[in-house]
Amino acid sequence: MGAEILPSSGVSIQLVVDALRSGEVVALPTETVYGLAAIISDDVALRRIFEVKARPFVDPLIVHVLDLSSLLNLVQISDDLFNGVYRLVDAFCPGPLTFLLKKRKSVSDIITAGKKTVAVRLPAHTIFREVLRQSGPLAAPSANPFGYLSPTCAAHVSASIGDKIPYILDGGTCTIGLESTILDLTGKHFAILRPGAITAEMIEDVLGKKIVPYRPLVSADPSAPGMLKQHYSPRTRLRLFEQSPEVEIPHFQENRALKTAILYLSREEAQSRKIINEEKATVFWLSENGNLNEIAHNIFDLLQRLDNMNFDAIYCQIPQKIDIGIAINDRLIRAAAKF
């Protein structure tokens, strides 16, 4: 039997909390993407997260907490560092910002992949926060098979891992649609390890000092999620293109015409570009006018839909590396690395 998709209600939340307390893993909505959650003190349930996702144990998890007090219970933090963390929490939390900090001994090595640091964030989604009020801190990576497109609605979770978990709590479509920004606070200079909706410029404005901007890092032993070379990938071959007047797609493969999806950033782009060898090309767009937040909101959902439409290839335009466009670029480049 597949997972039961539960409507948003007090009864559903209680059912999910009871399941978590009994050692189950369940899917929960956040403002970024849906998460696969387990109570952080239950090592058996934590291992179950990795099993359900087929996730390597070297890739650490993010812990979700309700408030600053709960965060401080999990990390070691100096007085000087606390001031910066407090200002960031006050400005951006609850929200899509994850802090990488030195962990306390009480935090399971399963969560941290044996490392001395732990990633923690305060999610904004009201349903997830109500679950946290009743359950306590939860580890929750994205609720999808490892390396696949992140889920931004309950149907995505059901289609990919619904046969492996008991419940999916339906909180609607994720408002942001991309995973949280991860900010490393363990070094001399703060550094973004994974870009997201909270940008380096936003963080610098709050702190009043420069941080190390995002640099695409690849690691086989990552200190935080999202640092592997290949990630967020559809099953369909994905190719990327930049802002050019023409897009050329392969015409034939093994003596047959390719069925190709061309994915533009905006309706205007889609209507103005010339496609070479367009006989089998179908055009889609991510936003009406190229709004980056709208593109971020739609990218995983549209790629999920295209992945189920039997295309031979997907060609996707990538945005400029500004604001949340940096995060969109990061996800697409890692998604295309598989191919």
Question: What is residue 281's predicted lDDT score, i.e. its pLDDT?
Answer: 81
We report the CATH number of the domain holding residue 142 as 3.90.870.10
Q: Report the pLDDT averaged over residues 140-164.
A: 97
**Co-location of 24 and 108 in the same domain:** yes
Which amino acid is residue 67, in one-letter code?
D
Question: What is residue 217's predicted lDDT score, i.e. its pLDDT?
Answer: 72
Q: Are 61 and 121 contacting, i.e. CB atoms less than 8 angstroms apart?
A: no
Which of 188, 207, 226 represents a domain boundary (last residue)? 207
On the question of pLDDT at 258 being above 90, the answer is no
We report the CATH number of the domain holding residue 304 as 3.40.50.11030
Q: Among candidates 111, 84, 94, which has minimal Cα distance to 32? A: 94
On the question of pLDDT at 270 being above 90, the answer is no
**Co-location of 147 and 14 in the same domain:** yes
How would residue 10 be classed by pLDDT, with cut points 50, 70 and 90? very high
The tally of domains found in the chain comes to 2
More confident residue, 338 or 304: 304
Domain that holds residue 70: 4-207
3-state secondary structure 289-310: CCCHHHHHHHHHHHHHHHHCCC
Question: What is residue 334's predicted lDDT score, i.e. its pLDDT?
Answer: 95
The percent of residues above 90 in pLDDT, for the chain, comes to 81
Task: Work out the mean pLDDT of the chain and round it to a whole number.
Answer: 93
Q: Report the pLDDT averaged over residues 309-322.
A: 93
The CA-based angle 163-166-167, given to 5 degrees, is: 110
What contacts 293, CB < 8 A, 6 or more positions away?
A: 176, 197, 324
Which of 160, 191, 207 represents a domain boundary (last residue)? 207
**Co-location of 187 and 113 in the same domain:** yes
Question: What is residue 247's predicted lDDT score, i.e. its pLDDT?
Answer: 63
**Co-location of 242 and 173 in the same domain:** no
**Co-location of 292 and 202 in the same domain:** no
Tens of pLDDT, residue by residue over 98-148, are 999 999 999 999 999 999 999 999 999 999 999 999 999 999 999 999 999
Which amino acid is residue 163, in one-letter code?
D
* pTM value surpassing 0.85: yes
Tens of pLDDT, residue by residue over 33-86, are 999 999 999 999 999 999 999 999 999 999 999 999 999 999 999 998 999 999
Q: How far is CA 15 from the centre of its chain?
A: 25
**Co-location of 200 and 289 in the same domain:** no
**Co-location of 43 and 166 in the same domain:** yes
Question: What is residue 236's predicted lDDT score, i.e. its pLDDT?
Answer: 96
**Co-location of 115 and 181 in the same domain:** yes
**Co-location of 180 and 252 in the same domain:** no
Which of 160, 185, 207 represents a domain boundary (last residue)? 207
**Co-location of 122 and 34 in the same domain:** yes
The tokens of 118 are what?
Answer: 């732990």
**Co-location of 130 and 261 in the same domain:** no
On the question of pLDDT at 324 being above 80, the answer is yes
In this structure, is residue 15 part of a structural domain? Answer: yes
Question: What is residue 222's predicted lDDT score, i.e. its pLDDT?
Answer: 81
On the question of pLDDT at 252 being above 80, the answer is no
Question: What is residue 213's predicted lDDT score, i.e. its pLDDT?
Answer: 87
Tens of pLDDT, residue by residue over 192-251, are 999 999 999 999 999 999 999 898 876 777 888 888 888 999 999 999 988 765 666 665
In this structure, is residue 215 part of a structural domain? Answer: no
In this structure, is residue 232 part of a structural domain? Answer: no
In this structure, is residue 216 part of a structural domain? Answer: no
d(Cα 50, Cα 31) in Å, to the nearest integer? 22
Backbone angles phi, psi at 284, to 5 degrees: -135, 165
Q: Report the pLDDT averaged over residues 166-176.
A: 98
In this structure, is residue 214 part of a structural domain? Answer: no
Question: What is residue 338's predicted lDDT score, i.e. its pLDDT?
Answer: 86
On the question of pLDDT at 279 being above 80, the answer is no
